[in-house]
Structure 1
């Protein structure tokens, strides 16, 4: 269809940022006037369908002294420009795909520009320019002989299915017959660093999910540390660089951290924010009913950033917070200090790290009041101090954090309504009036946080520490560019 702003405006009525999208496409057509658009049905990997804008045309590529017009198709998501388009080659019957560093056997295009997508720095014109640069290094298509045309027809038929919405029935149903949109528990882990891989292994070992997708955003086949997972294939674990592979996840775990060269602490956090701008809207688009579980640093601020970028309710955006410290704290009190009576009422709350705070809370009010009668304030404080001394210096290795995350995921997927000390919106607790995330004991279930457990009684020292953490976190948040 010829470019018509009026027609495009009508067709994009369901797009969240229609005006921004239209303005960007107008700029593309000024440089590449052969591009055409239409609204078509896109079929995702899991068999789900969605009407999306199909923006197709050819891009000029020079390779070994010859000029080529490479046909491509950009599927513009309804969260554009905050999520990158899905990019595919569109070969004719006389062309065959040359699988390489940036193109797979189905014609899907993978580029660093897509992986690092961040509005407003990332635009379609910039994407096309990088596409041309990469294709001039490695041509993605080549001509086929007539004897190969039958094989090519099969490939083109596969590509056509994306547009027509036809899919094999097996792609819509899992091997055990469970529908994706029913009781099937899918978890996506974003980031293939040590923590991301530790999460995948812990989730798989615990049997907490029916399927785990590891979304590797690193450039290169083995740079993200996924090569060994490819070699020693785990059942129900999929590795992908494609955001659509995360579709319909019940939980999405964010483990990524920017590796930028920022010199200041604020600069490091801002680099992470910039990274999240290209990730969170995309995963929120594909898994609109998921719980976002943030493990990136600093966890309190990045959980706040994820909440803002996803537009999810506060109950479905949580951070790993002090869950691991609390589990260790309770274990030390119960098993090493032999105070079984109150071990499960002891918590680490507040800010993860050096400013964490020991406190006494409980999900069972009867037990709490009984406990209050057993121990006075001095003995509680002495016990907490002894436990904190044992806790000091233990550190948090990737594998131990991965185990803690797997435990949180199990509570969510199985709706266990277990109490965990996790980062949640603390506004309204302990006279905190700002929108900050701090660890508090929370009842965790299918829809995330269902209730925050308040301390047994007003503790002015604990409240003061929490308020201090909230103030410093809020001050940093105010300096960030979201």
Structure 2
């Protein structure tokens, strides 16, 4: 596939995204940009020296102007979350970084689709949407794609079934107010509860699902990984590369990405994750998913929590 992807930020996440992309047939040109010139050059050299084992690919350390002609720009810049620190505590520092990056990269690549990965990702997506001047369809927050992947991993381990057979999602903020709309969660075409009964009838040794424990697993995984090894970057990189593949494909796909809400579920002027149609033209619109009233209220609670943070940040 002949496409150009620029990554802003060569920290653990940005560099791992570049490495993961270099191992897949998603991009033929990768540009990695970081304020730390020495580090970005080292990352590119390390990655490039492994590309002899694949079809030719160009990967370079560049400046903002080198992003010209990019199909996708991925923004990962920001201060990393420290052990015990919430994503929201990072907010103003990373907002300021985003404000310095946006005009420079948008000038170089005004037609690219932008994938925002920097945390807190819903706030960063909102900020970029407000200050970039780009059409909203070009701006995609990575949102709860990673949370959804964690959910499917947990359900797969619990029910001993392939993740490919699981259609369950995490909605809301990528953070503490996220939730699982179980009303729309299915395994092989049947609801979670029905699948449990089916598995038992087939003689499988499965336990009834503790849904609260599963949500805790999803929400606490990132913090646990950070406590154990200092950062999370493998799974989020795979999730972002999957998203790159989606937007470079010939048709649309449904994903839990973060984008601006315009009255869906009664929510306005905030970015969070619900089922969204995404494809080569970016965000195509929200896909209404069946949810009960409690789940809709949980989504509104998540939106309100994000709005409280937005009200406290300086966008000027």
When normalised by structure 2's length, the TM-score is 0.78
TM-superposed CA distance for 1:269, in Å, is 2.0
Structure 1 distance, partners of 2:24, 2:218, is 25
Structure 2 distance, partners of 1:389, 1:267, is 20
Indicate if the aligned counterparts of 1:423 and 1:437 stay in contact, CA closer than 8 A: yes
Indicate if the aligned counterparts of 1:209 and 1:413 stay in contact, CA closer than 8 A: no
Structure 2 distance, partners of 1:258, 1:384, is 33
Q: Which residue number corresponds to residue 186 of structure 1? A: 4
Indicate if the aligned counterparts of 2:139 and 2:282 stay in contact, CA closer than 8 A: yes
Pick the aligned partner of 2:103 from 281, 288, 293. Answer: 281
1:211 aligns with 2:29: yes
Pick the aligned partner of 2:274 from 437, 440, 446. Answer: 440
Alpha-carbon displacement from aligned partner over 1:254-289 (angstroms, at most 9, x marks no partner): 000048xxx998784222222222211222222222
1:320 aligns with 2:138: no
RMSD (Å) for aligned C-alpha atoms = 3.4
Indicate if the aligned counterparts of 1:192 and 1:226 stay in contact, CA closer than 8 A: no
Structure 2 distance, partners of 1:452, 1:310, is 22
Structure 1 distance, partners of 2:41, 2:296, is 44
Q: Which residue number corresponds to residue 295 of structure 2? A: 462
Indicate if the aligned counterparts of 1:347 and 1:361 stay in contact, CA closer than 8 A: no
Distance change in 2, residues 1:192/1:329 (3 Å): same
Alpha-carbon displacement from aligned partner over 1:184-228 (angstroms, at most 9, x marks no partner): 41100001111110010111112211111101222xx42x35414
Q: Which residue number corresponds to residue 450 of structure 1? A: 284
Structure 1 distance, partners of 2:118, 2:26, is 21
Structure 1 distance, partners of 2:309, 2:192, is 41
TM-superposed CA distance for 1:239, in Å, is 3.1
Map 1:87-106 onto structure 2 (within 5 A): none
Indicate if the aligned counterparts of 1:257 and 1:272 stay in contact, CA closer than 8 A: yes
TM-superposed CA distance for 1:432, in Å, is 1.2
More helix per residue: 2
Structure showing greater relative contact order (alpha-carbon pairs closer than 8 Å, 6 or more residues apart): 2
Pick the aligned partner of 1:196 from 14, 22, 39. Answer: 14
Indicate if the aligned counterparts of 2:71 and 2:113 stay in contact, CA closer than 8 A: yes
Indicate if the aligned counterparts of 1:360 and 1:455 stay in contact, CA closer than 8 A: no
Indicate if the aligned counterparts of 2:125 and 2:258 stay in contact, CA closer than 8 A: yes
User: Larger Cα Rg: Structure 1 or Structure 2?
Assistant: 1
The answer for unaligned runs of 5 or more in structure 2 is 199-207, 226-231
Map 1:23-42 onto structure 2 (within 5 A): none
Structure 2 distance, partners of 1:476, 1:308, is 15
Map 1:76-475 onto structure 2 (within 5 A): 184-218=2-36, 221-222=37-38, 224-231=39-46, 233=48, 234=51, 236-258=57-79, 268-334=90-156, 336-338=158-160, 343-360=165-182, 371=190, 375=194, 382=209, 384-385=211-212, 387-388=214-215, 391=218, 393-395=220-222, 397-433=232-268, 435-457=269-291, 459-475=292-308
TM-superposed CA distance for 1:452, in Å, is 1.7
Report how many residues are paired.
Answer: 286
Distance change in 2, residues 1:268/1:357 (3 Å): closer
Indicate if the aligned counterparts of 1:418 and 1:443 stay in contact, CA closer than 8 A: yes
Q: Secondary structure of the residue that 1:311 maps to in structure 2?
A: coil
When normalised by structure 1's length, the TM-score is 0.53
Indicate if the aligned counterparts of 1:362 and 1:453 stay in contact, CA closer than 8 A: no
Indicate if the aligned counterparts of 1:344 and 1:362 stay in contact, CA closer than 8 A: no
TM-superposed CA distance for 1:453, in Å, is 2.0
Structure 1 distance, partners of 2:94, 2:216, is 32
TM-superposed CA distance for 1:477, in Å, is 1.4
Indicate if the aligned counterparts of 2:254 and 2:278 stay in contact, CA closer than 8 A: yes
Q: Secondary structure of the residue that 2:297 maps to in structure 1?
A: helix
The answer for unaligned runs of 5 or more in structure 1 is 1-182
Distance change in 2, residues 1:427/1:344 (3 Å): farther
Distance change in 2, residues 1:232/1:462 (3 Å): closer
Q: Which residue number corresponds to residue 313 of structure 2? A: 480
TM-superposed CA distance for 1:391, in Å, is 4.1
Distance change in 2, residues 1:387/1:343 (3 Å): farther
Q: Secondary structure of the residue that 1:358 maps to in structure 2?
A: coil
TM-superposed CA distance for 1:232, in Å, is 5.4
Distance change in 2, residues 1:392/1:470 (3 Å): closer
Indicate if the aligned counterparts of 2:152 and 2:163 stay in contact, CA closer than 8 A: no
